[in-house]
Amino acid sequence: MSPFWRRFDRRLAIRACLLGFQAFCCIGLFVNRGIFDGSTVQGPVKILVLYSYFETESTSTCEKIMKRTNLATFLRTGVLEGQHISYVFTLGGNLPDAFEFYSSIGLTPPFGNDILPRFANVQLRTPVRSDVADLCHHAHAFKNVSRTEQYSHVVFMNDGVRGPFEQRPPRITLRSIREVPSWIHDHLILLHSEPHIGAVGSVLSCELTLHLQGWFVLLRTPLFSKHVHIFEETCDVNAWSDAINKETAFSDAILRDGLKLGTYFPVKVIVGQEQRTSIEPKLNSCMNPLTAFLQLNGQNATVDLHNLRFLKVGGGFYRQNILTIATKGAVSTFTSDALGVDHTNYYCFQNG
């Protein structure tokens, strides 16, 4: 593995912190928007991350570079070796070899002939069918994981997402949550901050109906297992256009269970079934929160990337040019810092 991708020896850093040395290192290990305290998170924590990636020969060059950069960034800043987190990557469609994949975004292949790292907690899954929504891939990946009951929580995300916007490499905590990457701390704490929160995510919207946007969501494993059948309903190729309805149906099922949804964007909010109507003013009268941010603040305003942790920069957000110029600049700066380069064309569809 090249030095660029090599993780620091966290065990030595932790030992030094415990002995009272390397004060600045200790701050880096323990601080995440203030001193991290996982006391609200009860019991052992083990995270299952489901990541769906898809490209075909017909995917435009712009989107291929966007998707590949998104995946490479997540591998660099979000993937941590350890026994308390596992990653299942579903890579579908027509992918090139590792050399072409990484060289197209300005990188030397960091994992030899493989796109993914050969970590014991990283699994590659090739779908039987690729022409289905990412929700279907999440469902199949989950169904094929052995002993899902060993995981306390599930995270699902897709290739349209850039992040985590986090110091690199992934940091860990030494308190009640052990060997869990620091990029998940804030959402994990939010999920456990009060009783009856069912799921949390980067963005809460009430477009169509109240729901967590499905590109980054965290919830407890038993709840995901209960409602994963909703995602399976998108596995019919004819249901592709219905995927957004299944995404909202998933959140709706959680609310009908008497549970709540939580987010930090557009504001920190926790909402249940009974607050659905009253919450609309806080959610910009059900306009897409990032569209509302652009309209309210203009092109020179930047969303708080660290507050979001992840940001949808691909897909419809990309093609519809939803993000502000300043936000695109901040994303590119972060990406360049993480990877050493950023070949993403953030204006591809705008420029035609």
Predicted pLDDT at 8: 33
d(CA 224, CA 220): 6
Residue 5 lies in a domain: no
Q: What is the mean pLDDT of the chain?
A: 84
**How much of the chain, in percent, has pLDDT values that exceed 70?**
81
Residue span of the structural domain in which 265 resides: 45-351
Please state, for a pLDDT cut of 90, what percent of the chain lies above it. Answer: 59
- For residue 102, pLDDT over 60 is answered with yes
pLDDT of 34 reads 31
Tens of pLDDT, residues 63-83: 999 999 999 999 999 998 888
Give the pLDDT band of residue 347 (cuts 50, 70, 90): confident
Q: Is residue 9 part of a domain?
A: no
Q: How many CB atoms lie within 10 A of CB 281?
A: 9
CA-based nearest residue to 177, from 11, 29, 38, 83: 38
Of 108, 159, 202, 164, the closest CA to residue 331 belongs to 164
Q: What is the CATH number of the domain that holds 190?
A: 3.90.550
Burial, 223: exposed, middle or buried (Cβ in 10 Å; 0-12, 13-18, 19+)?
middle
Query: Residue 29 domain-assigned?
Result: no
Residue 262 within a domain: yes
pLDDT of residue 29: 29
Distance CA 319, CA 252 (A): 27
What's the CA gap between 12 and 219, in Å, rounded? 32
In a domain, 36, yes or no: no
56, 130 Cβ separation under 8 angstroms = yes
pLDDT digits (tens, 9 = 90+) for 160-185: 999 999 765 566 554 445 568 889 98
Q: Which is more confidently placed, 297 or 318?
A: 297
Report the length, in residues, of the chain: 352
Cα–Cα nearest to 75, from 92, 100, 98, 44: 98
Task: Kindly state whether residue 130 falls inside one of the protein's structural domains.
Answer: yes
C-alpha closest to that of 152 among 12, 290, 48, 50:
48
Q: How many Cβ atoms from other residues are within 10 Å of residue 105's Cβ?
A: 22
> How confident is the model over 201-208, as a mean pLDDT?
91
pLDDT per residue as tens digits for the range 113-145: 999 999 999 999 988 777 788 999 999 999 999
Here the tokens at position 252 are: 């709706």
Number of domains making up the chain:
1
- Report pLDDT for 22: 35
Residue 232 lies in a domain: yes
Task: Give the pairing of strands 260-263 and 197-201.
Answer: parallel
310-336: average pLDDT: 88
> Is residue 161 a contact partner of residue 313, using CB atoms and an 8 Å limit?
yes
* Cα–Cα distance, 12 to 32 (Å, whole number): 20
40 assigned to some structural domain: no
- Nearest CA-CA partner of 288 in 215, 199, 187, 203: 203
Predicted pLDDT of residue 239: 66
Residue 265 tokens read as 């964007």
pLDDT attached to residue 12: 33
Higher per-residue pLDDT: 165 or 24: 165
